[in-house]
Each structure stands twice: as structure tokens, then as C-alpha cells.
Amino acid sequence: MRDLTSDTITEAVISTMQDTKDCRLAEILESLVRHVHAFVRDVGLTEEEWARGVDFLTRTGRMCTPTRQEFILLSDVLGVTMLVDALSNRRPAEATQNSVLGPFFRDDRPQRPDAADISGGLPGTPLFFEGRVVDREGAPVAGAAVDVWHSDAEGRYDVDVPGRVDPAMRALLRTDETGHFGFRSIRPSSYPIPGDGTVGEYMNATGRSLMRPAHVHLLIEASGFQRVTTMLFPSDDPHLDSDPVFGVKESLVASYDTYEADDGPCRGLTDVPYTALRHTFVLEPLSAH
């Protein structure tokens, strides 16, 4: 292994890994080396560009803390998160599709009863959410654990609201015997993904928008079924076709119907105009995975 050239170095590197005991690891590493070398050749990467790339990745790592994961955000904006999800969770069109989990899930969320107000007293258009969880045949899935979380009317999560430490606009709910779950909150708004790090530099350099369309996140788990990590977007959101993390799917675009206080399915429950959102979530059995 001496006098390697740009023509021979790829095979030489791969040959050094031939004693890798874990077959899957060997497969991944060989492909990684082939693709990275091919990329370097393809663009004719210069030493200066290589150093810039190393600096970018170094600074990406330095941004990471227990509450800020810049590498996952980078994976999100490069479409890698949704690509891995698409390969891992192929579901028939009738089943509820996944989207990104995002960085704002908290496992210290409170468990709340049906129809609870989870707004934490924050101002905004009242939102009444009614969900149903069913299986492929339409039979109710009782006892499913449903996590919900969303931003406020200004696009901020509870963790971003100055001075707020208590969880708000998030809850763990359970479906009843009819598969129903529901809550009351405030209508979420669109918001930018964090742009003050290396991902922001990349988005700026490529002229991309940081704005995510508004959404309510849901994570649904029920015994015997595939876990669903998803979100519902309002059909009138202007950012649906430029989501920076590629999480929008047509089946997740929903009608956030708005009514006057004395009209619609929740008339009398509030004295200001409100939004009602109803959706049925269809779970796939684990065996179909």
C-alpha cells in the first residue's frame, strides 16, 4: 500500500476494512468511503474547500448541547431525516404517514384528560382538536398513547417563551374505547427553524426559507401497531411547499376550519371565533412492517 494515486486510493482504503466483523457495518463503511471519494472526485474538491468543510462540521458539532442538536437539524434540511424515515416506514397510502419528530418534543409533558385545555393560558385563537385512532379495518384503537405538542400564535414553543418553565401546548392523552381523543388549545403559527448556527449559514447560502408551515405534532403509540410520528398542517399555510425539513405530505394537510363563536361543532364553548380540527389516524400493524 504505497505510492497510492487518485485512481487506487479508494480500493486501498476499502481493503483495510476487510476484517470488520460486523457485516452490516462493513457494508455501510465501504459504501460511505466509495461515496465520499466519488464526491471528492466529482467536484474536484480543493484543499481550501476541504478545510472549509471540516470547519463547518467542527462548528456544527460545537453547536450541539443537550437541547440543541445541530447535526439532526442539518440532516433535516438536507432531506436525510425524511429519506431514512421513508425507507424505514413504508406504509400504504391509507395509513397515517410519518413526518419529522423535530427538537421540541419533551418527555416531561403532563398526562391530561380528554378535552383538557393545554394552552397554558397563552393568548391565541382557540383550537378544538378531535382525533380518532383506528386500525386498517376502521376499528377503534383504545388505550393508544397520544403525545401532542405545538407552537403558540407567534410560532414559539413553550421552551422558547421567555420565563416559562412549565410545559404548555403539549400533553400526553389516551384514546377511549371508541378511539377518540381530544384537547383544547390555541391555534399554532408558522415559525422559523433555528437559523443562528451552521444550518442557518447553509440555508442563507442556498437562498432557502427557514419557515416551517404551522402544524400540530402528534406521536401515537399503541401495542401491536407501528408508532406514528406525524403532524397536521393547515391547508391555507403559505409555507407548505417550502418546508425547510421536507416534512409536508398531502395526507397531512388538513382543514383548520374557523367558525364564529355561536356557530360550528364547538359553538358555545368559547365567546370568540375558533378553529376546529378533526382527523382520523390509521395505524398499521407491527407485523406489516
Beta bridge partners of 175: none
What's the CA gap between 72 and 120, in Å, rounded? Answer: 29
Within residues 59-98, the interface with ligand BEZ by CB under 6 A covers 73, 76
Q: Which CB sits closer to ligand BEZ, 218 or 245? A: 245
Instruction: Tell the smallest beta-carbon distance from residue 255 to ligand BEZ (Å).
Output: 20
- Alpha-carbon gap, residue 234 to 256, rounded angstroms: 5
The reply on whether position 102 binds ligand BEZ by CB under 6 A is: yes
Q: Is 170 in the site for ligand BEZ (CB under 6 A)?
A: no
Closer residue to ligand BEZ in complex, CB, 193/240:
193
Taking the C-alpha atoms of residue 161 and residue 155, their distance in angstroms, rounded to an integer, is: 10
Q: Does 100 bind ligand BEZ (CB under 6 A)?
A: yes
Q: Would you count residue 192 as binding ligand BEZ (CB under 6 A)?
A: no
User: Does residue 188 belong to the site contacting Fe ion (CB under 5 A)?
Assistant: no
**What does 173 interact with, of Fe ion, ligand BEZ, none (CB < 5 to 8 A by kind)?**
none
Distance of CA 210 to the CA centre of its chain: 14
Interface with ligand BEZ includes 246 (CB under 6 A)?
no
Question: From CA 4, how far away is CA 15, in angstroms rounded?
Answer: 13
Answer yes or no: are the C-beta atoms of 229 and 99 closer than 8 Å. Answer: yes
Question: Please, which residue, 14 or 159, has the CB nearer to Fe ion?
Answer: 159
Q: Do the Cβ atoms of 215 and 149 come closer than 8 Å?
A: no
Residue 245 binds which of Fe ion, ligand BEZ, none (CB < 5-8 A, kind-dependent)? ligand BEZ
Contacts of 283 (CB under 8 A, 6+ apart): 95, 96, 133, 134, 135, 136, 141, 144, 220, 222, 225, 226, 228
Count of residues in contact with ligand BEZ, rule CB under 6 A: 9
Candidate list 60, 74, 95, 102; residue touching Fe ion; CB under 5 A: 102
User: Which span sits near ligand BEZ by CB under 6 A: 100-108, 158-166, 258-266, 272-280?
Assistant: 100-108
Joined together, the cell numbers standing for residue 203 give 440555508
Q: How far is CA 116 from CA 16, 120, 179, 181, 275, in A?
A: 59, 11, 17, 10, 16
Q: Is 104 in the site for ligand BEZ (CB under 6 A)?
A: yes
- What is the helix (H) or strand (E) element at residue 86, kind and residue range? helix 80-88
Residue of minimal Cβ distance to ligand BEZ? 102
Q: Residue for cell digits 385545555? A: 117
Residues within window 197-226 making contact with ligand BEZ, judged by CB under 6 A: 212
Span from 18-26, 36-44, 99-107, 166-174 in contact with ligand BEZ (CB under 6 A)? 99-107
Nearer to ligand BEZ, 76 or 284 (CB): 76
Stretch that binds Fe ion, among 98-106, 107-115, 135-143, 242-250 (CB under 5 A): 98-106
DSSP-assigned letters across all residues of 212-239: EPP-EEEEEE-TTB--EEEEEEETT-TT
**CB-based contact 213:177 (threshold 8 Å):** no
User: Using CB under 5 A as the criterion, which residues of the chain lie in contact with Fe ion when the complex forms?
Assistant: 102
User: Using CB under 6 A as the criterion, which residues of the chain lie in contact with ligand BEZ when the complex forms?
Assistant: 73, 76, 100, 102-104, 193, 212, 245
